[in-house]
Chain A
Amino acid sequence: MTSSNARLPVREYTPQQGFAAVGNAVRQIISERSHSFAIAWRIFVRDTKASVRLSYLGYLWLVFPVIANSVVWVFLSSQGVVSIENPGAPYPLFVYLGNLVWTAFTGSLLGGMGVLNEARGTLSKVRFPQESLGIVVLLKNLLTAVIALLCALPLLIWFSVSPGFSGLLFLPCLFGAMLLGLAIGLVCVPVAALIPDFQRLTQLAIRFLFFVAPVVFPLPQTGFARNLMLLNPATPFLVTSRAVLIGGESPQWFAVGIITGLSVIGVICGTVALKIVLPVIIERLEGT
């Protein structure tokens, strides 16, 4: 009996700060990685199944916002209500893909920021590798994007755009945008968890950001608006992903590479930080 106990893993909880806490969190994340991925997949399947089962249109609801937003802008521009300079590609396709990438970015950002609220009931009652929640956010947004992309196929055929093999580069670009969103979201989690106003402010900010990003109109060639849009970290992803799929814009691979790299670091730091501060947050989440 005793010898079998000796082989069991020991968990130790002590007050911790600083390097010790960081080292411990990293060790824990690494030792539980396979469990994290398994759990993430379970939660993703569980939530998706549950949301789809509740509605008749099912998966269509996931892409409905992308489609609706695109239809509005196509209508506005075709009626001449807004004048949009020619993006060098069929406008409906342009606006649809822009919306798709933008939704993946904002969805990951808000999802990352809201991981704690989403899993509130479970977090304060069940101990599980919480880092899996970040993976769930990626999986959910990836599903939405992939379905939206499938819906884009008829458009591609209609406008007889054939992207060729380089069109596959769209996917890493899309994933980069999601990583960027998740990185921003996760880094903000501790603040968002303690200050409810923060999340609402972010939602508001994203509405404005929509207009300083080349989502429904192309990046201006010159001027103040161009510089403003270039400050938006999501811009390179929007421009580049569309460029490889339907052409018309000049890809910004360098920026995409740098920002993706930084995002990966951001996601890792955010996850480790979350692991460290979670007990403090759970203590305040309780009771609610």
Chain B
Amino acid sequence: MSDDVLISAEHVSKKFCRSLKRSLLYGAMDIVSGINPFASTPNVDNWQEPSDDELREGEFWALRDISFEVRRGECLGLIGHNGAGKSTLLKLLNGLLRPDRGRIRMRGRIGAMIELGAGFNPVLTGRENIHNQAALLGFSGREVSQRFDEIVQFAEIEEALDMPLQNYSSGMKTRLGFSVYAHLEPDVLLIDEVLSVGDVGFRMKSLNKMGEILNRCAVIFVTHAMPQVFRACSQILLLNRGMSIFDGRDVPAGVSRYFDEFGQSATTVTGTGQAKVLDVQMQTPKKSCGRHETLEIRHEEELRITVDIQLDGYREGLLQFLFWNKELLPVMDLVDHHGNGLRGYHFSTDSEGRVRVSGTIDQMRLNSGRFTMSVIVLATDLTVLCRHDAAAEILVEANCASGASTLYPARWEMTSQ
């Protein structure tokens, strides 16, 4: 391990057992072999692919042959579905669990935000808890005293400092927990989804703080919030069922791989039911697709969307195409000019209540990724007649390393002063 690598995992594997009773039995066996001084230690330098043969009945590999390195100033984003093995990996790195295979080396002082409140005592005051928590994490009394004011200020709990912790709101507790870790300046910081709690203001603040800490330590960051990954991470490790399926510095590629892991979203139709989307067609100059299908489109290509609508009891309506990203945030809404503003496209039907409407955008501006489209039909008084979610999907391909949802070439100018 070279000097600047603070976290290194080499071929790490870990077994778990599904059944509780059996797990306890294996635990007992492991304990016996663990304290038996004559049991031989497996040779860690002999790497071989972990195989299913060495599993006892009911066991599985919770982590399988994971290797990576993180240097000072780097942040590894650890992403994957629930149950992919992220938290297990963090516990191995923190020394709470021992790997069954491989070697983990950690250099320097470790701060592990696995659960922020662990170790807090609800009866004691915030002040007492700060001192206790810091001691638990391995910091000397002098170090704590030096940074005490900063910790309190960052957590925004000045008034509540001498109040018992049980009277704190959950947000206050989280802030306090984060603040203690963040100010004690560990060399290695492990963060497990803790930043997704707290209000937006504090989340921004803690992300900024993390950016600040990042230059001084090596960080491993577990999260489900991809915008945070784009903001903080310099590399990505994507886990699926304990195996690494993406590992590298191309963060956008890792994130899109993460989203590919999820299947297509389910189609749902809501609204008053007085409108129906009979058919959906999407077209680029080269390709086309129908309802519930996925259209591959290059950035800046033309996109034409055609829908067949049946209205019941209405003769006119407003139509919108709304695009969602994988985090279910709306990123683009196709609308029409209306006076000085914008609203859905105003259409009217034939005598049977049917109509075919097409909308075209000349240049696709969305960044690479998968976006689902909802077809929304409103009455002119804005009653939702029909909202057809996940009517179709587009897969945009763009060559730009940006985490933004849209890419827009501006008109640039340069003037000499």
- Residues of chain A at the chain B interface (Cβ within 8 Å): 1-3, 5-6, 8-22, 35, 38-39, 42-43, 46-47, 49-50, 53-54, 121-128, 190, 194-195, 273, 276-277, 279-284
Known A-B contacts A5-B72, A9-B107; A279 and B118 likewise in contact (beta carbons under 8 Å): no
A10 CB contacts on chain B under 8 angstroms: 1, 105-107
Known A-B contacts A53-B123, A126-B112, A283-B97; A121 and B44 likewise in contact (beta carbons under 8 Å): no
Beyond contacts A5-B107, A280-B31: 15 other A-B pairs, Cβ-Cβ < 8 A, are: A2-B3, A14-B98, A15-B98, A18-B40, A19-B37, A19-B41, A46-B124, A49-B123, A124-B96, A125-B119, A276-B34, A277-B35, A279-B98, A282-B96, A284-B27
CB distance B94 to A12 under 8 Å?
no
Looking at B129-137, B258-266, B329-337, B363-371, the stretch in contact with chain A turns out to be: B129-137
| Docked complex: B89-139 residues within 8 A CB-CB of A | 91-92, 94-110, 112, 114-115, 118-119, 121, 123-124, 128, 131-132, 135-138
B247 CB to nearest A CB, Å:
20
B91 CB contacts on chain A under 8 angstroms: 124, 282
A34 CB to nearest B CB, Å:
10
CB distance B121 to A12 under 8 Å?
no
Known A-B contacts A5-B6, A125-B114; A17 and B136 likewise in contact (beta carbons under 8 Å): no
Docked complex Cα distance between A38 and B71 (Å): 31
A9 CB contacts on chain B under 8 angstroms: 107-108
CB distance A42 to B136 under 8 Å?
yes
Known A-B contacts A2-B3, A13-B99, A17-B36; A126 and B27 likewise in contact (beta carbons under 8 Å): no
A-B contact pairs, 19 of them (CB 8 A): A13-B98, A15-B101, A15-B102, A16-B34, A16-B98, A17-B39, A19-B41, A20-B41, A43-B132, A47-B121, A121-B118, A124-B91, A125-B96, A126-B118, A128-B137, A128-B138, A194-B31, A282-B96, A283-B27
Known A-B contacts A54-B123, A194-B24, A279-B98; A18 and B106 likewise in contact (beta carbons under 8 Å): no
CB distance B40 to A14 under 8 Å?
no
CB distance A50 to B124 under 8 Å?
yes
Docked complex Cα distance between A8 and B95 (Å): 17
Interface centre among B98, B100, B106, B121 (most CB of A within 10 A): B98
Q: Does B57 contact A (CB under 8 A)?
A: no
Q: Does B187 contact A (CB under 8 A)?
A: yes
CB distance A8 to B135 under 8 Å?
no
CB distance B4 to A15 under 8 Å?
no
CB distance A12 to B105 under 8 Å?
yes
B30 CB contacts on chain A under 8 angstroms: 277, 280
B33 CB contacts on chain A under 8 angstroms: 17
CB distance A14 to B34 under 8 Å?
no
CB distance A284 to B124 under 8 Å?
no
CB distance B121 to A50 under 8 Å?
yes
Docked complex Cα distance between A49 and B41 (Å): 44
Known A-B contacts A50-B123, A122-B119; A282 and B37 likewise in contact (beta carbons under 8 Å): no
Known A-B contacts A13-B98, A13-B99, A284-B24; A273 and B105 likewise in contact (beta carbons under 8 Å): no
B16 CB contacts on chain A under 8 angstroms: 283
B110 CB contacts on chain A under 8 angstroms: 11, 127
- Residues of chain B at the chain A interface (Cβ within 8 Å): 1, 3-4, 6, 16, 23-24, 27-28, 30-31, 33-42, 44, 72, 91-92, 94-110, 112, 114-115, 118-119, 121, 123-124, 128, 131-132, 135-138, 187
Q: Which residue of B lies closest to A124 (CB)?
A: B96
B103 CB contacts on chain A under 8 angstroms: 12-14
A116 CB to nearest B CB, Å:
13
CB distance A39 to B136 under 8 Å?
yes
Docked complex Cα distance between A277 and B3 (Å): 31
Docked complex Cα distance between A276 and B105 (Å): 18
Docked complex Cα distance between A27 and B33 (Å): 20
B26 CB to nearest A CB, Å:
9
Docked complex Cα distance between A121 and B293 (Å): 48
A284 CB contacts on chain B under 8 angstroms: 23-24, 27
Docked complex Cα distance between A273 and B27 (Å): 14
CB distance B4 to A1 under 8 Å?
yes
Q: Which residue of A lies closest to B93 (CB)?
A: A13
CB distance A126 to B135 under 8 Å?
no
Known A-B contacts A12-B103, A280-B27; A127 and B95 likewise in contact (beta carbons under 8 Å): yes
Known A-B contacts A17-B33, A18-B36, A121-B118; A11 and B136 likewise in contact (beta carbons under 8 Å): no
A213 CB to nearest B CB, Å:
30
Known A-B contacts A127-B110, A282-B96; A21 and B41 likewise in contact (beta carbons under 8 Å): yes
B40 CB to nearest A CB, Å:
6
A49 CB contacts on chain B under 8 angstroms: 123-124, 128
CB distance B34 to A21 under 8 Å?
yes
CB distance A14 to B99 under 8 Å?
yes
Docked complex Cα distance between A49 and B29 (Å): 39
Known A-B contacts A46-B121, A46-B128, A277-B35; A17 and B40 likewise in contact (beta carbons under 8 Å): yes
Docked complex Cα distance between A121 and B24 (Å): 19
CB distance A17 to B34 under 8 Å?
yes
Q: Which residue of A lies closest to B9 (CB)?
A: A13
Docked complex Cα distance between A277 and B37 (Å): 13
B131 CB to nearest A CB, Å:
8
B92 CB contacts on chain A under 8 angstroms: 13
CB distance B27 to A276 under 8 Å?
no
Docked complex Cα distance between A282 and B103 (Å): 19
B76 CB to nearest A CB, Å:
17
B42 CB contacts on chain A under 8 angstroms: 15, 17
Docked complex Cα distance between A221 and B376 (Å): 96
Known A-B contacts A10-B105, A16-B41; A127 and B112 likewise in contact (beta carbons under 8 Å): yes
A18 CB contacts on chain B under 8 angstroms: 36-41
Interface centre among B96, B100, B101, B121 (most CB of A within 10 A): B96
Docked complex Cα distance between A10 and B1 (Å): 10
CB distance B3 to A122 under 8 Å?
no
Docked complex Cα distance between A21 and B98 (Å): 11
Known A-B contacts A18-B37, A190-B31; A8 and B44 likewise in contact (beta carbons under 8 Å): no
Docked complex Cα distance between A9 and B109 (Å): 8
CB distance A277 to B136 under 8 Å?
no
Docked complex Cα distance between A277 and B29 (Å): 11
Q: Which residue of A lies closest to B164 (CB)?
A: A53
Docked complex Cα distance between A30 and B41 (Å): 22
